[in-house]
Amino acid sequence: MSPSHHNRYAYRPIIGRPDYAWPDGRRLAIYIGVNYEVFDFGSGLGAELAPSQTEPDVMNFAWRDYGNRVGAWRLFDLFDRLALRTTALVNAEVLERCPGLAEACRDRGDEIAAHGGSNARAQGTMVRRREKHLIEDVTQRLAELGVRPTGWLGPWISESENTPDLLAGNGYRYVLDWAHDDQPTRLTTDYGELLSIPYSQEINDIPAIIARKQEAETFASMIRDNVEQLLSECDRRPLVLGIALHPYIMGQAHRVPALARVLTELRTANDPRIWWTTAGDIATYVNANDLAV
């Protein structure tokens, strides 16, 4: 019996691939993906600071809501000080439930990427027709910000067997769900190729801080060490690091200083090998130059 396979991409080790450079000869593309999410009160999915005892789960709901009310704005201050443009991964329901938040991302020049409707629901179990409607609805709602999103991150990294096909069929250029590589790769779909842009599940505050019970200094060290290692490899191949943040986690007052220190170190070092960018700009560059495997 042969093992099941997704048939979206073939195995190809990172060694021996075509070499290329990012703009201006840079070798390591770094982007920050910030998740702006809403959750249901009294039901639905959601990360937990501590186990829920009853519903409605006021403690965990309010903890997550802190990110939209306070944490996001604290991170905006940090990104502004460091002149960092980010990829804003926005639940469409943020527009109705947190008026002004997505608009603030847009107004500071962040890329707006789609992150489903709400993080209370995962799309992996949806039938094709319902998932198609979800993607179309999210796309239309986020386009009201002025720019149609071209990238997608599924809530909870949840996909059905149809998701890449439906995204490509709705005009999406890239997806962030597949954390299988340090370079952009091409996924096969019914509507042509869809780029997979690396989005780390390791340099990501939910697995690091919520699942592994680490803290901000450890997470900052992980960022520092990851960049150091990738820089040691990037003379041989171009690489991508996506740093994944959630305002209700890294936007907490006691965690921002550690994040600020490591990002300030990296920015002030002004390493000519690093391209500070967005996921969308990586996708644009790859497609314009017919790169990726």
**Residue 183 confidence (pLDDT) above 70:** yes
- Residue spans of the domains in the chain: they are 28-288
Q: Which residues pair with 113 in a beta bridge?
A: 89
Q: What is the pLDDT of residue 2?
A: 57
At CB < 8 A and 24+ separation, what contacts does 100-106 make?
101/36, 101/68, 101/72, 102/36, 102/142, 102/145, 103/145, 104/72, 104/73, 104/76, 105/34, 105/36, 106/145, 106/146, 106/147
User: Which CATH architecture does the domain made up of 28-288 adopt?
Assistant: Alpha-Beta Barrel (3.20)
Nearest to 203 by CA among 169, 241, 168: 241
Q: What is the pLDDT of residue 55?
A: 86
Residues 263-276 have pLDDT tens digits of 999 999 999 999 99
Instruction: Say which residue the tokens 């002030």 belong to.
Output: 268
Which tokens hold the place of 76? 């905006």
Residues 219-266 have pLDDT tens digits of 999 999 999 999 999 999 999 999 999 999 999 999 999 999 999 999
Which runs of E-coded beta strand occur in the chain?
28-36, 87-90, 111-114, 151-152, 174-175, 185-189, 192-196, 239-245, 274-277
Q: How confident is the model at residue 147 (pLDDT cuts 50, 70, 90)?
A: very high
Rounded to an integer, the average pLDDT of 153-164 is: 96
Q: What is the pLDDT of residue 1?
A: 39
Q: How confident is the model at residue 278 (pLDDT cuts 50, 70, 90)?
A: very high
**Residue 3 confidence (pLDDT) above 90:** no
* The amino acid at 107: D
Q: How confident is the model at residue 51 (pLDDT cuts 50, 70, 90)?
A: confident
Q: Is 225 exposed, middle or buried (0-12, 13-18, 19+ CB in 10 A)?
A: exposed
